Structure 1
Amino acid sequence: MMRVAVVDDEPLARRGVITRLQAHADTMLCGEYADGTAALNGLRDKVVDVVFLDVQMPDMNGLDVLAMLAPERRPKAILLTAHDCFAVRAFELDAVDYLLKPVDDVRFDEALQRTRTALRMPSASAEDVDGIVAIRRLSTKIGRRTCFIDTDDVEWIAADGDYALLHVGARSYPVRESLNRLSHLLDPQRFVRVHRSAIVRVDCIREMQPLTNRDAILLLREGTPVRVSRTYIDDLLARLHHNRG
């Protein structure tokens, strides 16, 4: 359950966020504040996982509220703003996303899902696999659109700087997640890390060619080669053996 606080000096804006939260059964409203000073005092006293936080408020702006909280008490933040010029400082203060006003419903849901991922919390797009919560869908931005990719369609994933590339057939989709985090969120029965820069879906592996240094090359269904590091070879062999059994 995500404990949520909402901070905005505009009553209608606060009500809009709270109304949208009611559609998410895994959220619980823990605080509602109309100014930065009240928010700072409230967030210092309460345990909050995520705060929807207006950036521009008369007495104290939202980024200053975050900066004045001790790092260990600072919740994940989804910023509410009419401008995107605060992004750099926002992410320095552990903001996971920002929503431009007026808030779009799809972007609202995407921001909540990104927060769940950051907190490693289950959601409506996750399922329990042997006691482990595994995500079933990932979201990606394509221009102004948000697209949702079913993990059932993902064949392999490659690291690409601060992003990961989901390979689906001949197309690839960037998601703002590290490969390390994805390796913990995906179904371990279906996906396996094979390299510091690659994850593959086990049932997409067509062939494995060993190399002399105990590395290997995987060939996927369409002939795509993916290198396996010797660091991960034992986990891969165990997963292949388990699936065959």
Structure 2
Amino acid sequence: MKIRVVIIDDEPLARLAVKVRLAQRGAFELVGEFSDGASAYEGIVTLQPDLVFVDVEMPGKSGLEVLAALPPAQRPMAILLTAYDKFALQAFELAALDYLLKPVDDERFDEALDRAQQAFPYRGPGRAAAPAASTAPAVRSFSVRVGARTVLVPVTEVERIEADGDYATLHAKGKTWLVRERLHNLAMQLDPGQFHRVHRSSIVRLDMIAELRSLTNRDALLRLRDGSVLRASRTYMPALAAALQQLEARSDS
């Protein structure tokens, strides 16, 4: 069964960019596109798509207002598109699957579609999209080959993961372990409530972040509790900022 998609954006070129990318993925079917919030609301109610790409800021009703106006049971999975990162927390409060900054990076776009495919089987008829953290069971340990032995590294001990070509390096309690899997695949297996990809080459456990320092190009430097310093790319910053706020809210409650 294909995932039925609607695109909502007041910029024709932006809609075209999404359509071109969707056409390369056979699991998705475009069923409608809209250029304003009012017609988008009516279109979603009529077409009942599984997934919507929504521009946050449009003339009249904004993308967030369109989603908020829908009853939760009728709210499709949503991937938000915007040139600004200030709406990230609102997006995740509405259970958006992802939040992409324009111009959208190809790799980030593919990640968002992968997340939609991962979440789709867990959406029953008439159910609203659930936050990505609850769409599928997260992996609990990594199986690592060390010579002739197989070692299980608990996810709870992993502090960060870095890309190493077609492999990935786990950093856990002062040790490093090489996993025979790409970083992109690992990112889809981890609980986004605990781990976040911050760069195309690194994933970080959220509670390991001790300091976040914004840079002039909208990237950021992360200082971890073990003293490591990593760069966070602007394309991952909105989702990371929202996740950190949610983590702080959980710890305060």
TM-score, normalised by the number of residues in structure 2: 0.52
Seq. identity, % = 44
Aligned length: 152
DSSP 3-state at the match of 1:6: strand
Whole-Å Cα distance in 2 between the matches of residues 30 and 152 of structure 1? 43
The residue that corresponds to 1:73 in the other structure is 74
Whole-Å Cα distance in 2 between the matches of residues 160 and 120 of structure 1? 30
The residue that corresponds to 2:25 in the other structure is 24
What is the deviation of 1:112?
A: 0.4
Q: Which runs of 5+ in 2 are unaligned?
A: 123-135, 146-150, 162-167, 171-175, 193-253
1:79-98 map, 5 Å: 79-98=80-99
What is the deviation of 1:47?
A: 1.9
Post-superposition CA distance 1:82-117 (Å, at most 9, x none):
011111110111101011111111111011001111
Instruction: Assess if the C-alpha contact under 8 Å between 1:156 and 1:167 holds in 2.
Output: no
Whole-Å Cα distance in 2 between the matches of residues 155 and 25 of structure 1? 36
TM-score, normalised by the number of residues in structure 1: 0.54
Whole-Å Cα distance in 2 between the matches of residues 151 and 55 of structure 1? 41
Distance 1:120 1:157, change over 3 A: farther
**Matching of residue 178 in structure 1 with residue 191 in structure 2:** yes
Instruction: Assess if the C-alpha contact under 8 Å between 1:164 and 1:178 holds in 2.
Output: no
Whole-Å Cα distance in 2 between the matches of residues 96 and 110 of structure 1? 10
The residue that corresponds to 1:55 in the other structure is 56
Post-superposition CA distance 1:184-206 (Å, at most 9, x none):
xxxxxxxxxxxxxxxxxxxxxxx
Distance 1:155 1:33, change over 3 A: farther
Distance 1:164 1:24, change over 3 A: farther
What is the deviation of 1:65?
A: 0.3
Which structure would you say has the larger RCO, counting Cα contacts within 8 Å and 6 or more residues apart? 2
**Matching of residue 158 in structure 1 with residue 159 in structure 2:** no
Q: Which moved more, 1:37-46 or 1:150-159?
A: 150-159
Whole-Å Cα distance in 2 between the matches of residues 156 and 31 of structure 1? 45
Whole-Å Cα distance in 2 between the matches of residues 87 and 156 of structure 1? 32
Instruction: Assess if the C-alpha contact under 8 Å between 1:81 and 1:99 holds in 2.
Output: yes
Whole-Å Cα distance in 2 between the matches of residues 105 and 164 of structure 1? 24
**Looking at CA atoms only, which structure, 1 or 2, has the larger radius of gyration?**
1
Whole-Å Cα distance in 2 between the matches of residues 91 and 73 of structure 1? 17
Q: Which runs of 5+ in 1 are unaligned?
A: 122-134, 139-149, 180-245
Q: CA RMSD in A?
A: 3.5
Whole-Å Cα distance in 2 between the matches of residues 100 and 33 of structure 1? 20
Give the letter for the 2:40 counterpart.
A
Distance 1:113 1:151, change over 3 A: farther
The residue that corresponds to 1:147 in the other structure is none
